[in-house]
Structure formats: C-alpha cells, structure tokens
Amino acid sequence: MSVVSITNIKVLNNPTLFKEEYRFEITFECISNLSDDLEWKIIYVGSSESDQYDQVLDSIMVGPVPMGINQFIFQAPAPNPDRIPPSEILDVTVIIITCSYKDQEFVRVGYYVNNEYSEEELRENPPSTVVLDKLYRNILADKPRVTRRPIKWDSEDETQQHQEFGIPQQQQQQQQSSQSHEYDPSSQSLKQSTYIPQPSKSPGYNNFTETISS
C-alpha cells in the first residue's frame, strides 16, 4: 500500500502559448509519517523516437510532509525548443509528473500535449522554421495516465512505534490528519511550491486511468 497517493492534479494554465511556463496544482494524501522529503519532477518528452530528447523542466523537494491532505503549486519553465527535433515540435507529445521517495519513483502521471498553431493558415501551411510566438499547447487534462510502482516506505517502523505505545495506527492517522499543517514559506526545500492547508474536494483517482507496475 502506498503511503502517499495523488488525489488530484489540476492544470492551471491551459491552453496557452508553447513558451509559457507549466503550472500544476497537485493534491496528495499522506497516511504515515515520512523521514525524508518527496522529490517531484516535471518531464517533457521531446521525441517519440528516443528519450535522449527528454527534458526535466524542474525538480523540487517537498517536505517535511505532514500526515493528511497536502496541496502545492508546481510550476516549471517551458522546454527548450533547441533541444527538440524540429520535426517533432508540432503535433502531439507527452508531459510527465513524477514523484519519488528516497530515490524510488512510486508514481508518474502523463498527459498528452498537442502543440499547434492558432492560425488556420499556419496550420495548413506550416513554415519551415517554427514560429514560437504563434505556437500554442493544449494539455489533455481530463485524460491522464497514472502508473504506480511499489517501493519501500517507512511503514514498518511506524507500525512498530504505534504498537509500542498501544495506540491503533488507524486512530493515530485519523487524529493527525484532522490537524492543520503549514509549511515555512522561507524553506528553500519548497522552492516554487506553495502549501495550502485545506482539504481537497477532488474525487481521488476517479478521473485517472491507472496502471500498476510490479
């Protein structure tokens, strides 16, 4: 069972110009104390032929993570078009959000992204050199692809600790998840993230297509 579960991801600026930054509002639930931070990444797939064109747009460490519902804004710059094969800047590609714990990736969420010109004339007769100022991207936000992988968490230590104190683990989780938590906004580990201490009204994985890797 995963200690951390993404319950919702909202694309905040979509559609927009290709060169604009990416902004995602990520809500996740943590059901046990973590001894380390979570690492989040945004990856742009530059080519369907080779992962050498993949670009990590940003990587942040979020923590310490309290038990309960957590929410933050993850923003990253647009990909460098010079690192994308010219023939693959237009049309469909993929943007990926990953989360890892202690260098173990346990979830990735992928979205199809359609890059095209807003003007019909340019779509029908695209110039040999891409005009970035007129190139728009549209993320298919309602059709994410979620892949989860089992990893080693701190759960065994947590379970043992609860048993030693004679308190059921589920009761501890309910008590702590009902509390409000705030991150220190001056914390460098949050980088561009903003923690919002409020419960999520989003319906978990209901809108996600989910796969599980063993």
Q: Which helix (H) or strand (E) holds 156?
A: helix 155-164
Sorted by sequence, the CB contacts under 8 Å of residue 133 that are 6+ apart come out as 17, 19
Query: Which tokens belong to 138?
Result: 């549209």
Residue 155 pLDDT: 57
Q: Which amino acid is at 133?
A: D
CA 119 – CA 125 distance, rounded (Å): 10
Report the residue count for the chain.
214
Residue 1 pLDDT: 80
Domain residue ranges in the chain: 4-204+207-211
Mean of the per-residue pLDDT values for the chain?
80
Residue 156 pLDDT: 53
Q: Which amino acid is at 121?
A: E
109 close to 28: Cβ distance less than 8 angstroms: no
Question: At 178, is the pLDDT very low, low, confident or very high (cuts 50, 70, 90)?
Answer: very low
Residue that wins the pLDDT comparison between 72 and 212: 72
Question: At 29, is the pLDDT very low, low, confident or very high (cuts 50, 70, 90)?
Answer: very high
Whether residue 96 has pLDDT greater than 70: yes
Tell which residue, 114, 54, 113, has the closest CA to residue 85.
54
State whether CATH 2.60.40.1490 applies to domain 4-204+207-211.
yes
What are 52-80's pLDDT values in tens digits? 999 999 999 999 999 999 999 999 999 99
The pTM assigned to this predicted structure is 0.73
The residue assigned the tokens 């004339």 is 121
The residue assigned the tokens 């692809």 is 145
Tell me the sheet residues that pair with 202.
none
CA angle 60, 66, 69 (to 5 degrees): 90
18 close to 46: Cβ distance less than 8 angstroms: no
CA 182 – CA 174 distance, rounded (Å): 18
pLDDT, average across residues 155-165: 45
Residue that wins the pLDDT comparison between 146 and 164: 146
- Judged by average pLDDT, the poorest of 48-62, 70-84, 93-107, 165-179 is 165-179
Residue 208 pLDDT: 41
